[in-house]
């Protein structure tokens, strides 16, 4: 008789998890055979299978059960390429008994994982034995069989779920590697663009500086708005480029904070002077309320850019004739700086993500659209100083106010 044989790869998959406690060449003692009921001993027929041969399939009719005399078998469900292994059985154990007892199709496939010798007991012989024996209760056996089937079903469901979970983990790992590669390429592209922009931009800035010093006063005065526009936009481009570089460095943990004693009132004044022409152009009112505070040990350039980004953001989102305010207050353990506007505000559900890379307010109707890096830089720069930054409703519920803190342990008493 020819039996279906698994491929070597399929058999190796079953053997990987198979560890028999018995010697593969051992044969059950003939004394055990003698323990079987006399009628059952007479009904057994020896059959042999080589490793990798299928003894019976899931779904087959349960026409016989087998007592394993030597070797071992695997009990599986599913395909041979991706089997769900329910267990292994060795010499002295039965296989196929459930289908025989409850008259249902085979609940699993049985494959020889070693050369096995089996003692076959047919359905007819087994049923005859049940009729003749007062020791065996058919209903009890059927109940035990049903429990075994239920246990196998549970193990199958658990194994299938584990298999799906493993597959999902593999897919996530592949997707994660792809995402990391995309991020790496994106960052390399950004770095390349930034470095290629910096040199020509600094040339333009230097040229503007030379022009303002060399042209006659009357020409400079007549073209003041043009010069201010060029200066402001080159300043914004430099801040954008620096922010792109600094955001990448700070996210990589390469934070360089060079602290110096700094007067926040003077720093605020220098920032507001640079945007004076924009305030006039859009007819905005600016109020600065920064009292005489202790000097703080901060990276002046970083905090200058934080204030400039927040002020630039307020200008973009405040309509003409609106109001902007900068306020600083000293508290027990920190100094709080607020940039307040009377714009359209930011919904509460968007406030936290507003500090993430490339994020803009939904339905952005600002005068100009940015790349969403300015506020990311603000968050990272403030956190590098040991402070926090967040968004609140504006005064009287109108507009927004961006608040950041600097711990007082950075202040010089």
Residue 44 CB neighbours (<10 A): 18
Output the pLDDT for position 82. 84
Q: What is the pLDDT of residues 232-253, one digit of tens each?
A: 788 878 777 777 777 777 777 7
Region class of 78: left (phi > 0), else alpha (psi between -120 and 50), else beta: left
What's the chain's Rg over C-alpha atoms?
Answer: 40
Q: Domain 256-410 carries which CATH code?
A: 3.30.565.10
Closest by CA position to 25, among listed 64, 46, 54, 51: 51
CB 342 within 8 A of CB 411: no
Q: Given a cut of 80, is residue 319 above it in pLDDT?
A: yes
Q: Given a cut of 50, is residue 25 above it in pLDDT?
A: no
Torsion of CA 297, 302, 305, 310, to 10 degrees: -70
CA distance 119 to 40: 10
What does pLDDT average to over the chain? 80
Give how far Cα 232 sits from Cα of 37, 128, 132, 228, 285, Å: 102, 101, 105, 6, 19
- DSSP track, 187-217: HHHHHHHHHHHHHHHHHHHHHHHHHHHHS-H
CB 405 within 8 A of CB 336: yes
Closest by CA position to 114, among listed 33, 32, 26, 45: 26
Output the pLDDT for position 368. 45
H/E stretch holding 145: helix 138-214
Q: What is the pLDDT of residues 60-105, one digit of tens each?
A: 988 888 888 899 999 998 889 888 888 888 888 888 887 777 778 8
Classify 392 as helix, strand or coil.
strand
Mean pLDDT for 163-191 is 80
CA angle, 259 then 260 then 263, to 5°: 125
Output the pLDDT for position 413. 44
Tell me whether strands 389-393 and 400-407 are parallel, antiparallel or unpaired.
antiparallel
Output the pLDDT for position 223. 84
Q: Given a cut of 70, is residue 34 above it in pLDDT?
A: no
Q: What percent of the chain lies above the pLDDT cut of 90?
A: 24
Mean pLDDT for 384-402 is 89
Closest by CA position to 403, among listed 355, 310, 337, 342: 337
Q: What is the pLDDT of residues 180-220, one digit of tens each?
A: 887 777 667 667 766 777 778 878 888 888 888 888 888 88
Domain with CATH 3.30.565.10 in the chain: 256-410
Helix spans in 217-344 (H): 217-222, 224-251, 264-274, 276-281, 300-317
Closest by CA position to 63, among listed 118, 144, 135, 127: 127
Closest by CA position to 236, among listed 119, 342, 373, 411: 373
CA angle, 330 then 336 then 341, to 5°: 130
DSSP secondary structure letter of residue 27:
B
Q: What percent of the chain lies above the pLDDT cut of 70?
A: 79
CA angle, 205 then 210 then 213, to 5°: 130
Output the pLDDT for position 111. 95
Mean pLDDT for 332-344 is 91
Region class of 36: left (phi > 0), else alpha (psi between -120 and 50), else beta: beta
Residues facing residue 299 across a β-bridge:
none
Domain with CATH 2.60.120.10 in the chain: 8-156
CATH superfamily of 8-156: Jelly Rolls (2.60.120.10)
């Amino acid at each position: 008789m020819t039996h279906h044989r698994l491929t070597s790869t399929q058999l190796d998959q079953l053997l990987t998890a198979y560890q028999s406690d018995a010697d593969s060449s051992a044969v059950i003692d003939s004394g055990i055979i003698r323990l079987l009921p006399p009628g059952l001993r007479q009904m057994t027929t020896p059959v042999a299978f080589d490793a990798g041969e299928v003894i019976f399939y899931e779904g087959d009719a349960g026409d016989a059960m087998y007592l394993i005399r030597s070797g071992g078998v695997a009990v599986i469900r599913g395909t041979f390429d991706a089997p769900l292994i329910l267990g292994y059985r060795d010499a002295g154990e039965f296989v196929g008994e459930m289908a025989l007892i409850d008259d249902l199709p085979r609940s699993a496939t049985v494959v020889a994982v070693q050369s096995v010798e089996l003692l076959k007991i047919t359905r007819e012989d087994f049923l005859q034995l049940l009729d003749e024996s007062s020791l065996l209760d058919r209903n009890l056996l059927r109940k035990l069989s049903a429990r075994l089937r239920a246990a196998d079903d549970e193990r199958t469901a658990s194994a299938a779920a584990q298999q799906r979970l493993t597959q999902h983990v593999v897919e996530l790992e592949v997707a994660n590697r792809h995402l990391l590669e995309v991020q790496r390429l994106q960052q390399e592209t950004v770095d390349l663009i930034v470095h290629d922009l910096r040199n020509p931009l600094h040339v333009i800035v230097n040229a503007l500086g030379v022009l303002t010093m060399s042209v006659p006063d009357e020409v400079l005065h007549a073209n003041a708005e043009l010069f201010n526009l060029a200066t402001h936009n080159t300043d914004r481009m430099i801040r954008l480029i620096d922010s792109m570089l600094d955001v990448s460095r700070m996210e990589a943990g390469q934070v360089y904070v060079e602290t110096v004693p700094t007067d926040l009132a003077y720093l605020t004044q220098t920032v507001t002077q640079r945007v004076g022409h924009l305030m006039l152009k859009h007819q905005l009112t600016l109020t600065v309320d920064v009292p005489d505070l202790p000097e703080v040990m901060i990276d002046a350039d970083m905090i200058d850019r934080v204030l400039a980004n927040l002020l630039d953001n307020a200008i973009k989102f405040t309509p003409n004739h609106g109001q902007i305010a900068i306020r600083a207050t000293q508290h027990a353990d920190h100094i709080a700086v607020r940039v307040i506007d009377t714009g359209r505000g930011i919904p509460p559900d968007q406030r936290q993500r507003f500090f993430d890379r490339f994020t803009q307010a939904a339905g952005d109707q600002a005068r100009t659209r940015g790349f969403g890096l300015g506020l990311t830089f603000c968050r990272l720069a403030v956190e590098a100083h040991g402070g926090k930054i967040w968004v609140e409703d504006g005064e009287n519920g109108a507009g927004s106010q961006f608040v950041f803190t600097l711990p007082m342990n950075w202040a010089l008493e």
